[in-house]
Amino acid sequence: MNEVEDWAEKNGGFKRHRFFRTSGSSGKEKWVALSDEALEWSARSVIGALGIDSKDVLGLALPVTHVGGYGMVLRAEISGASLLKLEVRWNAGSFADWCDVNRVTVSSLVPAQVYDLVSGRLSCPTFMRNVVVGGGPLDEELAKKARDLGWPVIPSYGMTETSSQVATGDGLPLLQGWEAKIMEGRLALKGNGLLSAIIRRKGDGFVARDPKIDGWYMTNDRCELIGRGLRVLGRADRSVKVLGELVNLEELEKFWRGKLKREVALVARPDKRRGVNLFLFYEGIELDLARWNTSLPGPERITEATAVDLLPRSELGKIDRSALAKFDKD
């Protein structure tokens, strides 16, 4: 039992819940409380969408500490499908061979893993019929290359706060039971798979808050609704997806500002495998940042750091990140 589970048990109100940590060490720690009922409802929704049954073999290549991995476990339990876990460190070739030998029919991956399969020009095993891709947008070009190799990749949209997938398939159609609307340009969701609360540290303890309003959860994603389909336009805050993990650039800048004791700015640039790479600019003389960088979780580590005399600023005195992005490309 971890400290959050211990606190929840002592304070009551969270019977039959699981707690998923969603932030890195640079930001404020946050856990999402999901009831067993919400997780099971979500699993049944995905089972129905993918047609999973007792004849399937589910190949788990994601950590069960993340909702995407845990969701796979539940889908196997509820449907009666077999569940096999990839026990070795991720390697695209090993994964493809493992799926072939074990006749895996359904799996879930993040875009970086699909990129590795395509880069290795690895053909899909005969028995695979669904590979759900989540944790970040599936690039259309990458999806085409994967499908050309036989991998039946399916884009999905979801988050920890929704117990996993909300929309699955080309055009991101909402799964049965989910409702969506656009409020102030952001996507709001309603369904039985929503979280019970967000838990944060407060002093020596924790505090829980239910962020839903009249049963609706407001995301930070800018979206359009096309019938029952979602079109994701981007984030409403300064967060990016790196290797399937959400990284808050503002919180990460606070981390570096605190360590370096000087002004800093982060710029995110697209990367085909990672989603984006992070570049740090800071004022003053050049410093060795390795000890701090390696202390961060992999997705939050910077790719390159550059010392500058002064960061560019707008007429209002705000850091001009667009100018830094151009500087970085030179």
Average confidence score pLDDT of the chain: 91
Nearest Cα neighbor of 65 from 31, 96, 36, 37 is 31
- The residue assigned the tokens 């960061």 is 311
Read off the pLDDT of residues 116-154 as tens digits, 9 standing for 90 and up: 999 999 999 999 999 999 988 898 999 999 999 999 999
Residue 26's pLDDT is 47
Do 224 and 270 fall within a single domain?
Answer: no
Final residue of a structural domain among 213, 235, 257: 235
Final residue of a structural domain among 193, 209, 235: 235
Cα distance between residue 329 and residue 250, in whole Å: 22
Read off the pLDDT of residues 264-303 as tens digits, 9 standing for 90 and up: 999 999 998 999 999 999 999 999 999 999 999 999 999 9
Residue 23's pLDDT is 59
Do 295 and 307 fall within a single domain?
Answer: yes
Domain span at residue 308 reads 239-329
Do 257 and 135 fall within a single domain?
Answer: no
Q: What is the mean pLDDT of residues 72-92?
A: 96
Do 163 and 266 fall within a single domain?
Answer: no
- The residue assigned the tokens 């609307």 is 181
Query: The domain spanning residue 96 has which CATH number?
Result: 3.40.50.12780
Residue 2's pLDDT is 80
Do 158 and 22 fall within a single domain?
Answer: yes
Report strand pairing: 275-283 vs 304-308: parallel
Do 34 and 49 fall within a single domain?
Answer: yes
Confidence of residue 236 (pLDDT cuts 50, 70, 90): confident
Query: Token pair for residue 95?
Result: 């994964």
Query: Token pair for residue 57?
Result: 């073999």
- The residue ranking higher by pLDDT, 325 or 77, is 77
Final residue of a structural domain among 235, 269, 302: 235
Residue 27's pLDDT is 53
Q: Which residues, in sequence order, are CB contacts of 163 under 8 Å at separation 6+?
A: 34, 38, 39, 41, 42, 43, 67, 71, 193, 194, 195
Percent of the chain with pLDDT over 70: 96
Secondary structure of the chain as H, E, C letters: CCHHHHHHHHHCCCCCEEEEECCCCCCCCEEEEEEHHHHHHHHHHHHHHHCCCCCCEEEECCCCCCHHHHHHHHHHHHHCCEEEECCCCCCHHHHHHHHHHCCCCEEEECHHHHHHHHHCCCCCCCCCCEEEECCCCCCHHHHHHHHHCCCCEEEEEEEHHHCEEEEECCCCEECCCCEEEEECCEEEEECCCCCCEEEEEECCEEEEECCCECCEEEEEEEEEEECCEEEEEEECCCEEEECCEEEEHHHHHHHHHHHHCCCEEEEEEEECCCEEEEEEEEECCCCCCHHHHCCCCHHHCCCEEEEECCCCECCCCCECHHHHHHHHHC
Do 193 and 304 fall within a single domain?
Answer: no
Query: Token pair for residue 313?
Result: 């600023």
Do 272 and 257 fall within a single domain?
Answer: yes
Read off the pLDDT of residues 37-49 as tens digits, 9 standing for 90 and up: 999 999 999 999 9
Residues 87, 20, 254, CA angle at the centre, nearest 5°?
110
Do 196 and 297 fall within a single domain?
Answer: no
Query: The domain spanning residue 303 has which CATH number?
Result: 3.30.300.30
Domain count for the chain, please give it.
2
Confidence of residue 1 (pLDDT cuts 50, 70, 90): low
- The residue ranking higher by pLDDT, 317 or 55, is 55
Instruction: State yes or no: pLDDT of 328 exceeds 70.
Output: no
Instruction: State yes or no: pLDDT of 17 exceeds 50.
Output: yes
Residue 316's pLDDT is 65
Residue 329's pLDDT is 47
Please indicate, yes or no, whether the overall pTM of this predicted structure exceeds 0.75.
Answer: yes
Read off the pLDDT of residues 83-114 as tens digits, 9 standing for 90 and up: 999 999 999 999 999 999 999 999 999 999 99
Among 63-72, 195-204, 241-250, top mean pLDDT goes to: 63-72
Confidence of residue 330 (pLDDT cuts 50, 70, 90): very low
Do 82 and 221 fall within a single domain?
Answer: yes
Do 189 and 249 fall within a single domain?
Answer: no
Do 58 and 162 fall within a single domain?
Answer: yes
